[in-house]
Every structure is written in structure tokens, then in C-alpha cells.
Structure 1
Amino acid sequence: MKISVNVRQSVWMVMAGLGFWMTACTKDPSVTPQSPVSGTPAKADQSVNNWILENMRAVYYWNDKMPANPDTMLAVAPFFYSLLYDYNNRANPERDRFSWIQESAADLKASLSGEQKTTGLEVKYFLRSAGSTEVVIKVLYVLPGSPAYKAGLKRGDIITTINGQKLTTGNYASLTNNPTTFNYGLAKLESDKIVDTEVVKTVTAEVFQQNPVFLDSIYAIGGKTIGYLVYNQFIPGPNGSTTPTYDQKLEQIFSKFKARGVNELVLDLRYNPGGYVSSSVKLASMIAKGVDNTKTFYRTEYNKDVMAELQSQNQTAQLTTRFQTKAQNIGGNLSRVFVLTTGGTASASELIINGLRPFMPVITIGETTYGKNVGSITISDKTGKIKWGMQPIVFKSFNAQNQSDYSTGFTPTIIKNEPLALKPLGDLEEEYLNAAVAQIVGNGTARISADQGPQLPAIGSSVERRAGGSNMFDDRNPLNW
């Protein structure tokens, strides 16, 4: 396909490194696309569809698999999803599960920088018992300073009612997303049984900026100095800021790790659905053993038209992203790295795992990761006439050994499941951290504890939804990042 002059700018946009996302970042459930239906959209929809089609034909990774004659008379969201490669075929792990579109490009960009309207809770949803229609919510973590934090909610809390209504498979989607003010009814565990209480916490959602650098600690155990980092999204800095505040915080932490002689590292990416590749390069460059700016962290592959354009302009060197030479690098003291994972560990988090593998052993503890070896860019209309924003997949990533074999996720080296009763993050008795420490210092000093408490049927989590996991709110349409 010949690339037209007026689309060439979109082609070069894929090379704007800071725009690269390997994420499944937040999507507003209110813009969940409907099943494609025929009809005559408003004129504005037609112009939006033409804009979508032009850009997708230019930069979409699977542009050769798009419909030859798509129905531009569809409403905007159904039209966009009708273009995606094998979107509804769940049997194909290589399909496009990830591209998405939002009605507001401004909201899309804000969410990618960790700013959104939220109570500050990250949660996981379970059936109250096998075969039950009742749903319970387990709080995974609470953002410091958020409305939920101020209301006294904490990791491990169990929610069984919202606004006086008992949660069920039929209502929990609307109850957890539609209100602005939430009255959370709490339960407790007694002898491994969930028991409702009369405790209610009232929280009003507000626009809030997440700080992704959640926790760091250093432990001296059994002759080892263990660095621990909980990192929940790859974001350079706050939305709208040109200062990479969060990247700088990571550098400060690794400077401290280096000064304290950290010789084992536990990187907690359980709740990290991805983010800016630029931040992943910085983090990997402070961990990997024996790297500098001459060593390959990852390389990218685009669609055949973009690849041909880069070759014709002698720009193929831009396909390789190298590590950075970082004074904070602790790789010289490390013989391996431990990464804690769940099904919400996705994209840029998996890029870290894959990019480090050629340089050091990466031991994963937890659950199989999400399986996202592709990345996207944000596309919005520069004229401002079209308000929609889209996040299409434009590249596939490979590590220094040309590996990109994780479309079904990384299977954990050590399998763990989080119990219903959760210890605080950073607590040495916390399930995942305990397992890592046991591996580091040996079973004579610490042990891998058995999974504790009841194991309820899980039906999804807010982290997996941010990561583009199967849309627990509408099984017809698996959301992607």
C-alpha cells in the first residue's frame, strides 16, 4: 500500500519514543463499544470514521488484516472495533485484544498519565462461594491520599454491599462504576468464613493523580541485603507535567539501594498493567547486569508499510531501543532478579521481564502474566475538530535475543495465589514477598508458606481491567488495555 503524503505524519508519529505505550491503561467503562449495528450515523460520525480509517491503514500493526471494505456507516466505537484483527476470536492468542478508542482524547491522555476520577481503590472480585451469584470485593491496595485512604479503607478489606445493596453477578458492574458516592459495607473473616458487619465507609470519587512508586524497603536477612520495590504503573511524571517526577523517584530509590549494598532485588509488579516505555527503559537500566547504552533492551517491528518507509529513509536504527548508562545501576551486585506477578502484570511490566532475560535470570513468583508483547500510541486530531482519541497497537517488541514468545503470558517460576486475608505490602509475612525471601535466604531461615485461607472463584479485578483483561462487565466485548 502506498502511503499518502497527508498520512505520512502519522507514520512518523510511531517513532516518537515518548508516545510509545506498552500498557493496558484505564478505559472508561462508559465507552465500552456496542456490538456493530447497521444504521446511518450523524455526519460527524462519518468524518470521525474516515479519520480513524486513514490513520489505522497507515500505522496499525495488523493493517494488512483489516477489512478491505469496512462499513463506515457504523457508529464510531463499533466501527473502530470492526477494524481490529480477529478481535472477537478468543481462541487466537495473537489477536488484537488491546487497541481501544475513547470519546474524549483529553480523558484518554490523562488516564495514561495516572490521572482519573477514582475512589483510590484497586480491587479484585470473587464469587462469595462456588456456584453462588453473590459477589465480594477484596481491596488490593489503596492509593495514599485518595478519598478511600482518607475514609480509612485499607488493603485486605472485604466489601459485600454498595449503597445498601448486596453485590451480585447481576449488579456489581453498575454499582462499582456508576455512582459518584459509594457507601461500602464491609465484612470480616471469621474461621475462614466471610461475615457481614455493620461497618460502612463512605467515599466520594474525585479526579486523582496516582503516584506509581508505591513502596520501597530494604531488608537485611540471612546475610543478604534485599531491596523491595512496589511499582504500579510506568509513568514518568504527573499528568500535564514536563518534570519526570516519578522517574526521578525511581532513580533516588536505586541510588539508596546501591549505597546500602543491595545484592538481591524483589520487583513487585503484581498490580502494574504497563505504561510508558521510556520509564521501563530507565527502570531496566538500573537493574540489568553488565549493560550500558550499547546493549539492546528491545527492538520494535511495525507494519510492512512503516517498515518500508523507515528503510527508504535509512532510519532502521530507530527500531532498536538500548539500555541507558545509569550511575544508579545495581546489576553488578545482583546474580538474579525476582519479579512478583499476577494476571494484571502486563505490557511494559512484561517488557521488563523479557528485556532482562538475556542479561540475568528472572525468577517470577505468582500468577501467569497477562501476555502483551505489543505496544501502542495515542492518536488524536491535531486540528481539534474531532474529540475522539484512539490507542491502536502499532508495534511488536523483541528482546536482545529476538524473543517475543509471551503472547499467552509468562508462566511463573513459582506459582502463588494471593489469599483472601491479605498482609500489608512490605510485610515479610505477606504471601508473595515471603516466597521471594524464602528463595533468597533458603528454607533454613524462611519458608514458602502454603496459600492461606479460603480460595474463592475469582471473576476479575480492576488491575486486569486496566490491563485490558477480559471485560468482566460485558462478556461480549473483552476490553483491551
Structure 2
Amino acid sequence: MKLSLFKNILLLSVIGVFLSSCNKDEALPAIDPTSNAAVNRWIIDIMDEVYYWLGDLGTPISEDADPEDYFEALLFRPTDRFSVIYPDYQELINSLNGISLETGYEFILYRESASSDKVFAEITYIKKNSPASAVDLKRGDRIRSINGTLFTVDNFRDVLGLTESTHSLEYTRYDEASNQFVEKPSVTLTPIQLSEDPNFLDTIYTINNEKIGYVIYHFFTPGPGNGSTQFDNEMDAIFGKFKSESIDHLIVDLRYNGGGFVSSAVNLASLIGPGVSTTDIFSKTKYNSFIAEQIPELRDVKTTFKAKAENLGNTLDGNRVYILTSNRTASASELIINGLKPYMDVFLIGNTTTGKNVGSIPFEDEDNPDNKYGILPIVTQSFNSLDQSDYTTGFNPNVVALESAELLLPLGDINEQLLRKAITQITGTTPSGRILKSERLDVASSLDHKIRTGRMIENTIIK
């Protein structure tokens, strides 16, 4: 039914369309609710009303086709790089909230050199209270094989599939005394249903009499389940501490943050923006022409900042925030960058970001319990208060820093490459410490396969 997906507060605006579309649905012949056709009818009903590029919606293929093929045929490729379908809606929602079956380590896959077929997985971080945190694994360890199977450029995707069940890791660790990687005893890990806290680390450094607040945030979600605001509240507390300690500078580390819920992006931006209030616009949201025509409330959507007691105000030196980025910094992370730019100097350190200025909404088939699929179509495009949205190729850093250029140091270590670059910009002095160069070629990352990666999830208007 046209526009029946919208929340009750908008139903009066669309009742005419709602009634006319009922007649269309009633004319369709009955169908087996367990069939592909039932799933595909649901898909086209949604896409035909909310898809951002509605005028370029693809021609449906056979109604009996595999739902993933059917969904793909509708997408406006290559412009649409981000719309996706999942076979299990609940798994989709859990992942967006940081809940998944895993062992708790993330990594980047590197090719040893352009002429080598050898690939290794380098651990980027270990999650708290995970199976990986209970064994001797550290950031910077290099996994050579899983269950005895070595990584190569041809098989690494298949080998990574072994991590979905109990598996052993054969890995090495850099030994500074011998200046080489040495073998460590194999470890065995069993996945658990893990709820990850995106607030990974926060601290305050005092360097050259400058107080520097530093926070690592891995994805945007209010809390671990529906209605929870636990993680947003934790972020509020972090900024409350920063404010009480009167920090002079702020570094926000989003290098591994591929996105998430817009509401948490608004929450974080409201803590950072200099003295912003509920009258200041954080972002503007554009829907397709059909929605804009039928629902006046969605023609000119403006999202304002929140009033936060923990807001840092005008305390940051030079009205500047430092954001650490990578090529996997995406969607809601980029929304933060774009939304803050009209209000302050947003100084980027790292790599060019992904370039995603469009948002998704998760949909499930509430009328058919036999349809377990969930879809995340692109539904919106985001702009800042100056109507700027020109970052489809990503935001370029002010200072380039690639993790692939150095051996990894612990996150939070002032000599860790990206953090070191930020501290140098702030203080004019480079932290002392041994820097170990190590060029390697980025192939892929465990984060690339996270459902939340590259997602900007609108969770305030459409369900």
C-alpha cells in the first residue's frame, strides 16, 4: 500500500494515496506467502515509493526470481553504491546496533607487495569482553593462516569464512629486540553473540601545557537494543569529563567508523559544535519527488542540534576539531564532518573518506511473518546548513596519514601515527619515540563486511 510504511504522525498527510493504493493491492491475485514472489512484491512496493532515485528505478525481473537478484535489478547502478538486501531482518538490525556472532577482533588484509601473492591479516583492534580479549592477541599482530590454511590473493575470502565458527589463528608479533616478526602460539576462538560498545577509548593528554581530549568512536548507535540510549549517554559522560577538565583541543577518531544511525551523529555533533542550540541546523534531508509531493512535512526537512549540557561551547582553541579518518570513514561519520563545517574548522588527518552523502532506512515485511528479508535502500540525501552535499568522492585530509605506512602501535599511544600527527599539529612538537616504517598494500578489511559499514541510517521519520 502506497506510503503505508510511514509512522502514524504522517498518516493524515497520505490517507488519500493510502486508500487508492489499497484498491491496487486488492486486485493482485493471492500468492503463497513463503514464495519468492511474495518477497519480491513486498520489495517493489517499498522501492516504488521510497527509493531516492525513483525516476531511475530499474525494470523488475521475473516475480519468481531470487529476491537478491530481483532487488539488484531495481537499483540505479553505478550511482547507487550502497543499497543492500539481507536474508534476515533481525540480523540486520542487531548488526546496526553492534550485536553480532563473532570472536571480537577486527583486521585489515594486506598484500605483502605488488609482486607477492601472500596476504596477511593485521589486527586493528580487539573488542572488550570478547573471546579475542581473553587470549594473547594484540593490535598489530599478523595472522598468516586460519585453521592451518595460509592467506593468498586468490583464497583470502574463503579463508575468512572460517572465522564464522570455532577456528584457530596462526600469527606473528613484532619483536623490537630482534626487529622482526616472531611466531606466537596458536590460539583457538569460538564466536559468541557479542554486543560491542562503540565508545572504544577516551582520555585526556596534557602536552606542553595543552589539554587534549581524545575519543575513539567505532560506529553510530544510541544503544545495544531498541529504545536504548546507553551508548549516547556514555558519549555524553565523556564530553562532560572533557568539559569539566577544560580541554583546549579535541581529537575525534573515526578511522574505523563506517556509519550508523543519524540520531547518534546528531548527538555527537551537538556535543562538539561551538555553543550550538536547537535553533541551529545540523543537516537538511531530501527525499524523492514522490514523497516530497505527497507529504508536505518531508519537503523541507531540517534537523537541528540538540541542547546538551555537556557541549564544549567556545572552548576549543582556534574553534577547531581534529578528526582522524581513513578510506573506511563513511556515511554518518561524513555527516558529522559536513554538518560541523559551517560552524567550525574541521581539520582532517588520515586518508580520504568513503564519500557517502545518502542515507538508508531498514525495512521489514511486517505483514508477512514468512518473509525474513530486510532491505536497506537509499532513501535520502543529506546537506549541511549551507546546502552543501558535494562529497561523493570523499573528504580529503588536511594531513595525510596512512596506517599502511607504519607498524601499528596501541590505540591511544601518543606515537601511534594518526594520533601523533594530530598532537604535532596541536603542539608544534612531534612526540618522541621510535617510528617503524612498514609499507604494505591494503586489500580489504573485516569492517568492509559489517552490515553497518557505509550506512547512514535515518531512524527518526520512517520505520
What is the TM-score with the length of structure 2 in the denominator? 0.87
- Which one-letter code corresponds to 2:314 in the other structure? G
Q: Per-residue deviation at 1:450?
A: 10
- Specify the alignment match of 1:134 in structure 2: 118
Given that 2:259 and 2:452 are in contact with CA atoms closer than 8 Å, whether structure 1 keeps it comes out as no
- Which one-letter code corresponds to 2:4 in the other structure? Q
Given that 2:350 and 2:400 are in contact with CA atoms closer than 8 Å, whether structure 1 keeps it comes out as yes
Q: Per-residue deviation at 1:196?
A: 5.6
Equivalent position SS for 1:433: helix
Q: Residues 449, 82 of structure 1: CA spacing in aligned structure 2 closer, same or farther, 3 A cutoff?
A: farther
**In 2, distance between residues paired with 1:450 and 1:413?**
24
Given that 1:10 and 1:59 are in contact with CA atoms closer than 8 Å, whether structure 2 keeps it comes out as no
**In 1, distance between residues paired with 2:352 and 2:434?**
18
Given that 2:120 and 2:143 are in contact with CA atoms closer than 8 Å, whether structure 1 keeps it comes out as yes
Q: Residues 77, 15 of structure 1: CA spacing in aligned structure 2 closer, same or farther, 3 A cutoff?
A: farther
Choose which of 390, 394, 401 in structure 2 pairs with 1:409: 394
- Specify the alignment match of 2:366 in structure 1: 382
Matched, 1:232 2:223: no
Q: Residues 435, 78 of structure 1: CA spacing in aligned structure 2 closer, same or farther, 3 A cutoff?
A: same
- Which one-letter code corresponds to 1:120 in the other structure? G
**In 2, distance between residues paired with 1:461 and 1:223?**
38
Matched, 1:277 2:284: no
Equivalent position SS for 2:186: strand
Given that 2:286 and 2:301 are in contact with CA atoms closer than 8 Å, whether structure 1 keeps it comes out as yes
Equivalent position SS for 2:5: helix
- Which one-letter code corresponds to 1:44 in the other structure? S
- Which one-letter code corresponds to 1:237 in the other structure? G
1:43-442 pair list within 5 angstroms? 44-87=35-78, 95-178=79-162, 179-189=164-174, 195=181, 197-240=183-226, 242-311=227-296, 315-316=297-298, 319-334=301-316, 335-383=319-367, 384-418=369-403, 419-442=405-428
Q: Residues 69, 139 of structure 1: CA spacing in aligned structure 2 closer, same or farther, 3 A cutoff?
A: closer
**In 1, distance between residues paired with 2:383 and 2:400?**
25
Q: Per-residue deviation at 1:11?
A: 4.9
Matched, 1:460 2:444: yes
Given that 1:292 and 1:324 are in contact with CA atoms closer than 8 Å, whether structure 2 keeps it comes out as yes
- Which one-letter code corresponds to 2:420 in the other structure? N
- Which one-letter code corresponds to 2:115 in the other structure? G
Q: Any runs of at least 4 consecutive aligned residues in structure 1 with deviations exceeding 4 A, and if so which?
A: 11-16, 190-196, 447-451, 467-470
Q: Per-residue deviation at 1:42?
A: 10
**In 1, distance between residues paired with 2:271 and 2:195?**
25
- Runs of 5+ in structure 2 lacking a partner? 12-31, 455-463
Q: Residues 117, 69 of structure 1: CA spacing in aligned structure 2 closer, same or farther, 3 A cutoff?
A: closer
- Which one-letter code corresponds to 2:66 in the other structure? A
Q: Structure 1, residues 189-220: CA drift from partner, whole Å, max 9, x if none? A: 46898646252121111110000000000011
- Which one-letter code corresponds to 1:208 in the other structure? L
**In 2, distance between residues paired with 1:466 and 1:9?**
30
**In 2, distance between residues paired with 1:295 and 1:367?**
30
Given that 1:299 and 1:399 are in contact with CA atoms closer than 8 Å, whether structure 2 keeps it comes out as yes
- Specify the alignment match of 2:27 in structure 1: none
Given that 2:173 and 2:184 are in contact with CA atoms closer than 8 Å, whether structure 1 keeps it comes out as no
**In 2, distance between residues paired with 1:469 and 1:232?**
10
Task: Between the two structures, name the one with larger relative contact order (CA 8 Å, sep ≥ 6).
Answer: 1
Equivalent position SS for 2:295: helix
Q: Structure 1, residues 199-253: CA drift from partner, whole Å, max 9, x if none? A: 212111111000000000001112211100000010111134x331100000101
Q: Residues 198, 253 of structure 1: CA spacing in aligned structure 2 closer, same or farther, 3 A cutoff?
A: closer
- Which one-letter code corresponds to 1:78 in the other structure? D
- Which one-letter code corresponds to 2:305 in the other structure? F
Provide the aligned length of Structure 1 versus Structure 2. Answer: 428
Q: Percent identity?
A: 37
Given that 1:160 and 1:196 are in contact with CA atoms closer than 8 Å, whether structure 2 keeps it comes out as no
Given that 2:259 and 2:453 are in contact with CA atoms closer than 8 Å, whether structure 1 keeps it comes out as no
Equivalent position SS for 1:8: coil
**In 1, distance between residues paired with 2:210 and 2:435?**
25
Q: Per-residue deviation at 1:128?
A: 2.1
Q: Per-residue deviation at 1:407?
A: 0.7
Q: Residues 115, 69 of structure 1: CA spacing in aligned structure 2 closer, same or farther, 3 A cutoff?
A: closer
**In 1, distance between residues paired with 2:338 and 2:349?**
15
- Which one-letter code corresponds to 1:115 in the other structure? I
- Runs of 5+ in structure 1 lacking a partner? 1-5, 17-40, 88-94, 471-481
**In 2, distance between residues paired with 1:185 and 1:453?**
24
Q: Structure 1, residues 410-468: CA drift from partner, whole Å, max 9, x if none? A: 111100011452111111111111100110011xx326999742211110112233378
Equivalent position SS for 1:10: coil
Given that 1:128 and 1:134 are in contact with CA atoms closer than 8 Å, whether structure 2 keeps it comes out as yes
Q: Residues 361, 409 of structure 1: CA spacing in aligned structure 2 closer, same or farther, 3 A cutoff?
A: same
Given that 1:345 and 1:467 are in contact with CA atoms closer than 8 Å, whether structure 2 keeps it comes out as no
Alignment RMSD: 2.4
**In 1, distance between residues paired with 2:397 and 2:64?**
45
Given that 2:57 and 2:75 are in contact with CA atoms closer than 8 Å, whether structure 1 keeps it comes out as yes
Q: Residues 277, 328 of structure 1: CA spacing in aligned structure 2 closer, same or farther, 3 A cutoff?
A: same
Q: Structure 1, residues 348-407: CA drift from partner, whole Å, max 9, x if none? A: 000000000000000000011111101100100112231111111100000011110111
- Specify the alignment match of 1:477 in structure 2: none
- Specify the alignment match of 1:19 in structure 2: none
Q: Per-residue deviation at 1:316?
A: 4.3
- Which one-letter code corresponds to 1:65 in the other structure? D
Given that 1:114 and 1:210 are in contact with CA atoms closer than 8 Å, whether structure 2 keeps it comes out as yes
Q: Residues 350, 15 of structure 1: CA spacing in aligned structure 2 closer, same or farther, 3 A cutoff?
A: farther
**In 2, distance between residues paired with 1:51 and 1:194?**
56
Equivalent position SS for 1:61: coil
Q: Per-residue deviation at 1:331?
A: 3.1
Q: Residues 460, 63 of structure 1: CA spacing in aligned structure 2 closer, same or farther, 3 A cutoff?
A: same
Q: Residues 339, 13 of structure 1: CA spacing in aligned structure 2 closer, same or farther, 3 A cutoff?
A: farther
